[in-house]
């Protein structure tokens, strides 16, 4: 059993800088070492190693850990494998596990022996007379002898008992457990792989844990073209990426990792000089596999075939990645020309064409938008509403609040531009008419420009009654002031604000200006509000909230992001309050556990809402 005390002793015997320095160039910096982070691409070093404290830390991406974490996250080892390797270097004996765990470990070791023996036999068969068809197939793929040897190609001959006879030193139950033989009730067990070109599937340490086999006979139309080992004590296909043990070192040099659909694509790309490629094994990319990729690069590239199946694979990967997204970690996606896989493209246009495509990999959000936009006809309002519902359903799956907020804003912007093309505003001039220009502060209306036409008395009275309704709270005023200060952001948030109930009427006056062709300026908006009998929000009305977009000298990009977050809160608030009021009324009438739980859930959300608002306000408080 590994006690905390034993693990601490192991860490103390490992010089962390020596361990990390084997694969990362470290430079002495006082009592620490510095380097460009091996977990993400950077030009200036932000990765530090401290031998005294026994940990590494990257101030860029947040990677942090000790010697064991280095071996698991950077070298790709399982925890126990990392411990064993470090203990061997430190001259320590790993404590014996409990009997059941020891028996399981012994079984795994024995199965590794079985798989190694099977691999040796498959490779031997490839060079023999029976392997002629397999060798001819490899020649058609253009794989040279070095590639064939490097990836361990072999051949499984025809015959239902051939492997059993060749590996007779291992008991049959072990061959069955390793996935090499199939046991069917009422029949004799038989070899799983027969008449197939064989390819070993290896773990992060390069040990054979499974096999993939491609059928060679064209007569066996009922047999699957590719056949993989089943899940075994050694092999979990959802937690394994083919070629990871070779691709990881290459990715550390190139800064990228490419995911393709199958292992033959991996080998074709490696033969063309693109070594940092991996593939899932007969399944869609899983959450575990995405996390494995992120241990090596922040933005792995998914490269899918250009057919409908490739597009479906891309969307499956996107939907599984969305809940996992975190800052600086996402996916980029390449779609190959229709009808081509990586091998076809390389043979037709060369490796440079493949490199060019990889260089044009697109962000996840771009592909998500295009796939959903093109999924169904959008000829009616109901169709367009369906598109928005699908997009927001994807956004709701994102767990990280900041990323969810940014995705919501970006997708709403794209949806608005698509569903609501820009129309002529009442603030624009028509054909032969000058566009409206408000007078500068303290000056006269510009010559040749008509003065603005104030709203009707009925409209002004309606606005004043609404203003008296108490909706002018600090958050509304802060957002109003933000939009006046950054008028170029009004159109971005127009749709979300327009649909918000109980909104301060001054917002609608600003929204009417968002379609203007002339560039809006802050003093222009202030003049428009005043000309309609409305007040410009003053500092006292939002002094309790110190948002960054209101701070002197605020950065435009940061202001846009924080204003978007504040508007998200403003839009969310009435919906939350209405739901809470409804849940409270339901509980008071029913007094059921279900209605009480719903009310408590919404109360918790309201507290979280208030906490988010306080955090945003306090972020820039002096």
Residue with the bigger pLDDT between 551 and 465: it is 551
Give the start-end residues of each E strand in 3-124. 27-29, 32-35, 47-50, 55-58, 64-65
**pLDDT at residue 427 tops 60:** no
Q: Residue 439 above 80 pLDDT? A: no
CA distance 285 to 261: 9
C-alpha span between 74 and 52 (Å, rounded)? 21
Q: Range(s) for CATH 3.90.980.10 in the chain?
A: 99-235
Q: What is the DSSP letter of 323?
A: G
Q: Which of 189-203, 449-463, 527-541 has the highest mean predicted lDDT (pLDDT)? A: 189-203
Q: Quick check: helix, strand or coil at residue 211?
A: strand
Which residues are paired to 301 by β-bridges? 258, 332
**Window from 37-51, 245-259, 331-345, 465-479 with minimum mean pLDDT:** 465-479
Looking at every residue in the chain, the average pLDDT score rounds to 82
pLDDT tens-digit readout, 511-567: 776 655 456 677 777 777 777 667 777 665 565 667 777 777 778 877 888 888 888
Fold of the domain spanning 4-90: DNA Primase; Chain A (3.90.580)
Question: pLDDT, tens digit, for every residue of 236-248?
Answer: 999 899 999 999 8
How far is Cα 358 from Cα 255, in angstroms, rounded to an integer? 13
Does the structure show a pLDDT above 80 at 292? yes
Q: Judge contact between 84 and 63, C-beta under 8 A.
A: no
∠ Cα 258 261 264 (to 5°): 95
- CA-CA-CA-CA dihedral for 515, 386, 311, 276, to nearest 10: 60
Q: Alpha-carbon Rg of the chain, whole angstroms?
A: 32
Domain at 99-235, CATH from 3.90.980.10, 1.10.10.60, 3.40.50.2300, 3.40.640.10: 3.90.980.10
| 277-416: CATH number | 3.40.1360.10
Strands in 47-50's sheet, in edge-to-edge order, are 27-29, 32-35, 47-50, 55-58, 64-65
pTM, 2 dp? 0.59
* Helices and strands, counts by H and E, the chain: 25, 16
User: Could you give the CA distance from residue 285 to residue 258 in angstroms, rounded to a whole number?
Assistant: 13
Given a cut of 70, is residue 354 above it in pLDDT? yes
Query: What pLDDT does 146 receive?
Result: 93
What is the structure's pLDDT at 609? 77
Pairwise CA distance, residues 190 & 195, whole Å = 13
pLDDT of amino acid 265: 92
At 341, give phi and psi (nearest 5°).
-105, 175
Q: Model confidence over 104-140: pLDDT tens digits?
A: 655 666 899 999 999 999 999 999 999 999 999 999 9
Q: Would you place residue 101 in the very low, low, confident or very high pLDDT band (cuts 50, 70, 90)?
A: low
pLDDT digit string, tens, across residues 137-188 = 999 988 999 999 999 999 999 999 999 999 999 999 999 999 999 998 878 9
CATH 3.90.580.10 domain position(s) in the chain: 4-90
Structure confidence at residue 466 as a pLDDT band (50, 70, 90): very low
Task: With beta carbons less than 8 A apart as the criterion, state whether 81 and 72 touch.
Answer: no
Spatial distance between the Cα atoms of 45 and 484, rounded to a whole number of angstroms: 41
The H or E element spanning position 277 is strand 277-278
pLDDT at 26 > cutoff 70: yes
Cβ atoms of 263 and 212 within 8 Å: the answer is yes
CATH 3.40.1360.10 occupies which residues in the chain?
277-416
């Amino acid at each position: 059993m590994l006690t905390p005390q034993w693990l601490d002793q192991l860490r103390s015997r490992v010089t962390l800088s020596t361990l990390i320095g084997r694969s990362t160039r470290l430079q002495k910096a006082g009592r620490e070492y510095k380097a460009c982070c091996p977990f993400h691409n950077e030009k200036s070093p932000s990765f530090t190693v401290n031998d005294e404290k026994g940990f590494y830390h990257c101030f860029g991406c947040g990677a942090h850990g000790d010697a064991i974490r280095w071996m698991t996250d950077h070298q790709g080892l399982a925890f126990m494998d990392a411990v064993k390797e470090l203990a061997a270097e430190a001259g320590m004996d790993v404590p014996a596990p409990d009997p059941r765990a020891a028996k399981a470990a012994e079984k795994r070791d024995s199965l590794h022996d079985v798989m190694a023996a099977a691999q040796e036999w498959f490779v031997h068969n490839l060079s023999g007379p029976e392997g002629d068809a397999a060798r001819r197939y490899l020649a058609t793929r253009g794989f040279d002898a070095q590639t064939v040897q490097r990836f361990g190609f072999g051949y499984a001959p025809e015959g239902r008992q051939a492997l059993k006879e060749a590996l007779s030193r291992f008991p049959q139950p072990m061959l069955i457990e390793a996935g090499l033989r199939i046991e069917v009730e009422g029949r004799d067990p038989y070899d799983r792989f027969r008449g197939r070109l064989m390819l070993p599937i290896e773990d992060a340490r390069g040990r054979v844990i499974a096999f993939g086999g491609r059928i060679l006979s064209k007569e066996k139309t009922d047999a699957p073209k590719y056949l993989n080992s089943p899940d075994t004590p050694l092999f979990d296909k959802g937690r394994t990426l083919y070629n990871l043990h070779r691709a990881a070192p290459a990715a550390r040099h190139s800064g990228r990792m490419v995911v393709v659909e199958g292992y033959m694509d991996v080998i074709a790309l490696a033969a063309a000089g693109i070594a940092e490629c991996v593939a899932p094994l007969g399944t869609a990319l899983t959450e575990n596999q995405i996390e494995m990729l992120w241990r090596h690069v922040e933005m792995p590239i998914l490269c899918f075939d250009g057919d409908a199946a490739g597009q479906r694979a891309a969307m499956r990967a996107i939907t599984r990645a969305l809940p996992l997204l975190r800052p600086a970690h996402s996916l980029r996606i390449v779609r190959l020309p229709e009808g081509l896989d990586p091998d076809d493209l390389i043979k037709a246009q060369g490796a440079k064409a493949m490199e060019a495509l990889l260089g044009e990999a697109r962000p996840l959000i771009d592909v998500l938008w295009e796939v959903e936009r093109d999924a169904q006809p959008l000829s009616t309002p109901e169709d367009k509403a369906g598109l928005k519902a699908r997009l927001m359903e994807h956004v709701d799956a994102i767990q990280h609040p900041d990323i969810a907020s940014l995705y919501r804003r970006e997708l709403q912007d794209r949806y608005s531009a698509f569903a609501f093309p820009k129309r002529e505003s009442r603030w624009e001039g028509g054909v032969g008419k000058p566009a409206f220009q408000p007078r500068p502060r303290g000056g006269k209306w510009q010559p040749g420009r008509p003065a603005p036409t104030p709203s009707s008395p009925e409209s002004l009275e309606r606005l004043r009654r609404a203003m008296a309704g108490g909706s002018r709270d600090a958050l509304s005023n802060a957002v109003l002031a933000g939009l006046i200060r950054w008028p170029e952001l009004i159109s971005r948030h127009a749709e979300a604000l327009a649909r918000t109930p109980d909104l301060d009427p001054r917002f609608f006056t600003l929204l009417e200006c968002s379609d203007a062709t002339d560039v809006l300026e802050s003093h222009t908006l202030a003049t428009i509000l005043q000309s309609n009998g409305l007040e410009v929000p003053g500092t006292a009305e939002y002094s309790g909230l110190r948002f960054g977009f209101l701070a002197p000298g605020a950065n435009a990009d940061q202001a846009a992001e924080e204003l978007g977050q504040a508007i998200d809160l403003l839009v969310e608030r009435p919906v939350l309050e209405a739901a809470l009021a409804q849940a409270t009324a339901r509980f008071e009438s029913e007094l059921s556990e279900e209605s009480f739980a719903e009310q408590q859930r919404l109360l918790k959300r309201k507290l979280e809402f208030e906490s988010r608002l306080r955090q945003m306000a306090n972020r820039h408080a002096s």
